[in-house]
Amino acid sequence: MTKRPMEILDQALNRQPVIVSLKGRREIRGILQGYDVHMNLVLDKAEEEAGGEVRKLGTLIVRGDNVIYISPIVG
């Protein structure tokens, strides 16, 4: 049975890291702490890899209109 997108996010909530692709070709990884219907996200232990360097961002709030996609990291 195919899972609905919100069910997949619910399963990742507070458990496993997610990767979030944002406008401007940015990608953020972190632990999903919460979200709403507008795809506003709260990420803990967030980090961004840019130019081979990892920047630790800590707790981060991402506005939903910047989100292109969000996916749990499997593995």
pLDDT in tens, 32-53: 999 998 999 999 999 998 888 9
Strands (E), the chain: 17-22, 26-35, 41-50, 53-62, 67-72
Distance CA 67, CA 75 (A): 23
Prediction pTM value: 0.84
Write down the CATH number for the domain with range 5-72: 2.30.30.100
Distance CA 1, CA 3 (A): 6
Tell me what pLDDT residue 64 has.
93
**Below-50 pLDDT ranges, the chain:** none
**DSSP 8-class letter at 73:** P
Q: Which of 37, 19, 30 is nearest to 60 (CA)?
A: 30
